[in-house]
Chain A
Amino acid sequence: MKHLSIDLNSLPGLDTQQGLFGSIAQSINASLDDRVLVVMTYLYEAS
């Protein structure tokens, strides 16, 4: 069968949707904030 193109936005999330780590403003609770950055490395190989 041919590959179908399915739009990601048409696929529902879970009912218990949750935000990413650190997405609750914790200024009052005063925690260290680890939202800052995620570094990713991609390696491409010539073939």
Chain B
Amino acid sequence: MPRLMRSDRVRVRSQAIGAMSSQSVVERLRDQWRGSPPVAQLLESLEAYAGGNPLDDCAILAECLTSTATARRLLSPLIDGLCAALRDHPFAHVPLRHRFARGVSVLELVRSAGASMSLVVYETAAFDGREAAPSIAFADEERHELCLSGAGSGRIATVVGEREDRVVLDVRSLAFEQQSILAFDCSSSRIIDRVDGHLAILRLARLPQSPGPTREFRLSDGRLLHCASGCRRDSRDEMAVALLGRMNRRDAAEPLAAIACGKGAEHLRWQAVRNSLALDSLVGFAALEVLVGKDGDELSVPAAKLYRQLVEQYPELARTEKQPCLT
């Protein structure tokens, strides 16, 4: 790469400084908005809601989710201010968590622990050339939504019965319009099929302490299509366990055995015992024996099955001296 001439370096540096000051403009705007008395009160209310209080006990938050006038009054200074600032500073980044994909925008306005308030905007482009969604996902969270502006149509689905690999869904059509108020939990969800121009929704979401899995079902027959962990911490730990296994870190076998015999999520613990076995068969086998003997543990049955498989495949394992599992 050719070296930059002095004049180029000065120009690049001044552009960098310019970008930094642009960014500080939008960040200052955000901080001023968050520090304003009505938003500070909203944050307090959100904190109480995140702490487990029912929405009805969090007056300002509840009002914001039921009155478009209140919501607009709170959001306008931020949205108007950011739009004006971004026009003046086009290289600045929106200083809030955000996402834009295929006509759907999400802007996380405020967050407190597991509770967050976001602005979600659907544009017509999100539905151009797209067939009606064949499936619907149910996340383990509580959600309240208020349509701020625009209109659209969609479906609301509720799980009314569960069978082995499928659920019974009650699906109803719904028209979204300004001031529509919706509430969902782990067994209810919605799909938007079409919008007229745009549809802006204010969303309040709260995750439980240990969220259960998110499940996706086919709408036509309720069949389970996919199940994903609802807890990012568990998934992160599961990835770390898998990586240590792939790195062949034998010194990780004992800590993994301890995770397997601990109190974590069952998928994480199962990955830990598998990788512990692969890294150090003696340590992993000792952990497996502990799991087999744990009455009431959800892993005791699959552990017993794996134990029998291993003893048949490697009879010498059953003859080894018992090693204590670190818990």
A contact residues vs B (CB 8 Å cutoff)? 1, 3-8, 11-24, 26-34, 38, 40
Contact = CB atoms under 8 A, between A and B. Distances in A.
Contacts of A20: 228-229, 235, 238-239
Contact of A15 (B102, B214, B302): B302
Contacts of A27: 101-102, 104
A21 B270 contact: no
B252 to A, nearest CB: 11
The 8 closest A-B pairs by CB, nearest first: A21-B235, A4-B281, A8-B278, A19-B228, A20-B235, A21-B232, A23-B228, A18-B227
B7 interface: no
B229 A21 contact: yes
Contact of B317 (A4, A15, A24, A33): A4
Contacts of A26: 137
Nearest to B321: A1
A11 B278 contact: yes
Contacts of B104: 27-28, 30
B231 A28 contact: no
B281 A5 contact: yes
A32 B228 contact: no
Interface string B259-284: 00000001100100011011011101
A18 B267 contact: yes
A20 B236 CA distance: 8
Nearest to A14: B270
Contacts of B185: none
B46 interface: no
Interface size class of B (residues with CB under 8 A): 35 or more
B213 interface: yes
Contacts of B214: 24
Question: Chain A interface mostly helix, strand, loop or mixed?
Answer: loop
B133 A21 contact: no
B228 A22 contact: yes
B17 interface: no
B316 A4 contact: yes
Given A5-B281, A11-B278, A33-B99, 5 more contacts: A20-B229, A22-B228, A24-B226, A28-B133, A30-B120
6 contacts: A1-B319, A6-B281, A14-B270, A15-B302, A24-B214, A33-B99
Contacts of B266: 14
Given A1-B316, A30-B106, A33-B99, A24 B278 contact: no
Contact of B320 (A1, A11, A15): A1
A17 B228 CA distance: 9
Question: Most chain-A CB neighbours within 10 Å: which of B216, B232, B235, B305?
Answer: B235
B306 interface: yes
Contact of B282 (A3, A21, A24): A3
B63 interface: no
Contact of B108 (A11, A16, A19, A32): A32
B99 A18 contact: no
Contacts of A4: 281-282, 314, 316-317
B222 interface: no
Interface string B196-222: 000000000000000001101000000
Contact of B274 (A1, A11, A17): A11
A15 B224 CA distance: 14
B152 interface: no
A7 B106 CA distance: 44
